[in-house]
Structure 1
């Protein structure tokens, strides 16, 4: 399949990301051919992705591949692919909880799952990790309704709510087996509640944790320290060499300012997120609930209940997580994690990729930053 005749595709905003959604049957089965086609569809490699669907930023250069599941415990399989913007690279080494928000509605509209009358729950197996999720969303009259009154930080307006619930993950909540590690001379907590994440006190890296993302991205000393920590954390967390990977995520922690449990600045891996990923927030919330983590003395978790409000640069994300600390030799476990996201269909039709073998003669220059760092982009 070359895609020269066009490929069936839907573009959806899922949470605070935007991605192209495909049925697996509409893409090549060979991963190399599939990735080549997706690079041409998204317009990579080019900083502006001017000749494709991508928006010139990792948050808007994402792909969901969806198919009926052979697993009796799931309705559909979801493979997340991150398409690099300025490199000819497609990776499946992580999940994306924001793009996950659009998988259920897409599956219903493609006929993979019959809709309920009122609301529909779709059981989703995430092929990147083998973990599962259940997405529940409104389907009045047996049709997906993308409109609604749910609002999430980082997205203008409102849309229909998508409740996403994650059962206990099969992987250890503490990948290193310890609630604290010292990595590259810095005390951290490595946690994985759906997304491998390293929690770092912001002040340990000589920043406050309240800076604008653009300001943090321009701090070369900070970038070098983050890279050092990430590369050392990868093997300790069982991820191997992460030089070319986007995991683990790094989340700087600071005391909350707006009634939440903690303030975060998250790097993926060098761009600073203007909000926070769903699974990244789930891992932060789990880390806050672990006695002895680096969040102690920084975070202010609720005295009662399991709902954590994770502050980020454009608002907050609420995570309902139930963590049972380990007793004796038993490791800690996150029994339940749930979040509310929204998703909205932007278009559904046919996308025409750049012809095979055709690359930009020279990379399109990235826009120069204006004073204050406002170049119109949003971080990953």
Structure 2
């Protein structure tokens, strides 16, 4: 083994329809800038194929999860999500990722951060990006994590053991308000929009207002330069109204195109990350869109009418559909959004970098 390279323990995992390396916080630099430089190198960012790193050349496969012991009493572990850009040498920790979240529970149990129970184990996950707690229920028969199973999710091949995720109070994940601008619906650049912050800050837009049907493939939408330019202009203005400074250099808010369902669902959606259309649907996006459906006056709500909670919202996306269950313990209690995902451990080992690192106790500041 070469002695001029730094090696860091990591586990590559698929979570839902995303994948990326999982690291213990203690194995990474405590300094944020040094950590981000290391992640950029490890993933190979700055090249469209990430040829000199372990990233997959796509936003869905250029994600990182950093796990630590819980910093608050109502959680078992801390989870910091990092979106490492592909062609830019940048790391964005402003959003959460609900798909990668599906692998946090299994990882934490197998790393000994959480004690497993038979037949399943609840892992309370503090998402450091948003300051919110999500409960993951992991199948652990005999006290061991299992990955094999018969649960199928759109956008991932084959079957696997289910991981249920319950977002306990996702509203105001980044801005502190479900409707950051104070309006359920408003206009930007001649289009009706709803600015919503629930698990993920988003700007919801009627597809027809931007000259598309809403059922186009991701490739078709990505190639529509006029659409992408107009949507980016709306997104940046939406960020300003939501109090998200310099949205042009961030991946939030996410733009979402809404249209009538084609296959018996509640809504047809196209979710952008923000400069590529997701080939399926981000879980945080699904949670926010479903909550918007049940929020009177929003654009999503006007498509389907006012659905009372509890309800099941089915969101059609390019790879199939996502079911989001909405419930609440009482009339005025926060809405709990639940989804079922799967995860899989892909490989475990060490990843190499030329950057020397010095690790200390990592200090994070919650975004809440």
1:154 aligns to 2:155 (yes or no): yes
Please show how residues 78-117 of structure 1 align to structure 2 within 5 Å.
78-117=79-118
Deviation of 1:129 (Å): 1.2
Please list every run of 5 or more consecutive structure 1 residues that lacks an aligned counterpart in the other structure. Answer: 327-331, 358-380
CA distance change for structure 1 residues 296 and 338 in 2, over 3 Å: closer, same or farther?
closer
Partner Cα distance (2:109, 2:301) in 1? 43
Please list every run of 5 or more consecutive structure 2 residues that lacks an aligned counterpart in the other structure. Answer: 357-368
CA contact under 8 A between 1:104 and 1:135: conserved in structure 2?
yes
Name which of 183, 186, 190 aligns with 1:181: 186
* 2:249 aligned counterpart, secondary structure: coil
Partner Cα distance (1:3, 1:347) in 2? 24
1:315 aligns to 2:320 (yes or no): yes
Q: Partner residue of 1:349?
A: 349
CA contact under 8 A between 2:163 and 2:341: conserved in structure 1?
yes
* 2:299 aligned counterpart, secondary structure: coil
Deviation of 1:356 (Å): 3.6
Q: Partner residue of 2:364?
A: none
Q: Partner residue of 1:260?
A: 265
CA contact under 8 A between 1:256 and 1:300: conserved in structure 2?
no
Deviation of 1:295 (Å): 2.5
1:280 aligns to 2:285 (yes or no): yes
Partner Cα distance (1:192, 1:60) in 2? 24
* Structure-1-length-normalised TM-score: 0.88
* 2:212 aligned counterpart, secondary structure: coil
Q: Partner residue of 1:204?
A: 209
* 1:247 aligned counterpart, secondary structure: coil
CA contact under 8 A between 2:309 and 2:327: conserved in structure 1?
no
Partner Cα distance (2:12, 2:120) in 1? 22
Partner Cα distance (1:207, 1:314) in 2? 19
Q: Partner residue of 1:340?
A: 340
Deviating 4+ runs (over 4 angstroms)? 300-305
* Structure-2-length-normalised TM-score: 0.91
Partner Cα distance (1:306, 1:218) in 2? 36
Deviation of 1:241 (Å): 1.7
Name which of 222, 246, 262 aligns with 2:251: 246
CA contact under 8 A between 2:289 and 2:300: conserved in structure 1?
no
* 1:264 aligned counterpart, secondary structure: strand
